[in-house]
Amino acid sequence: MDRRESPPTSGEVILFTDGACSGNPGPGGWAFILRHPGSGKETSEAGAEWDTTNNRMELTAVVRGLSQLRRPTIVELVTDSVYVGTGLSEWLPKWKQQGWKRKEKGRLVPVKNEDLWRELDHLAAAHTIRFTHVAGHTGHAENEACDRMAVEAYKQLKLNG
């Protein structure tokens, strides 16, 4: 679902997200930048958790970013997380159909991070989301900014904790 079209129009927003973890599991951080190109408005936020995984932080960043939207919106989700993008576009419909289970070695097992996937599913239902994957740590300005914010968030947690 990698999109190579023109940038979003003024009726759309761009949500840049990233998660980071010091150890996996370990202390982790998440961050997002939410931009409305039509108005020039932008907001960002970051946070951290003590005992988490990188995938949980990637999901949390998207959930927290989408939570900022107050009406149905076309969202361009820009992330370096294949886990989030593939989960939204391919896995989620199957998991829901299978009662929030996934196949592993021929049997159904609980979906990992089900709480966050359910929350993301609920939030995503109100919007049209297009996923764009960017390679991490390759100079993409907003992805790098989100990474710095996420890392700083878990470093602050460790310093203050």
User: Which positions are catalytic?
Assistant: 18-19, 58, 80, 137, 147
Burial of 141 (0-12, 13-18, 19+ CB in 10 A): exposed
- Ramachandran angles phi, psi of 8, nearest 5°: -60, 150
Decide: 54 and 25 in contact? Cβ < 8 Å.
Answer: no
Compute the half-sphere exposure of residue 28: CA atoms within 13 Å on the CB side of its CA.
Answer: 21
d(CA 156, CA 76): 29
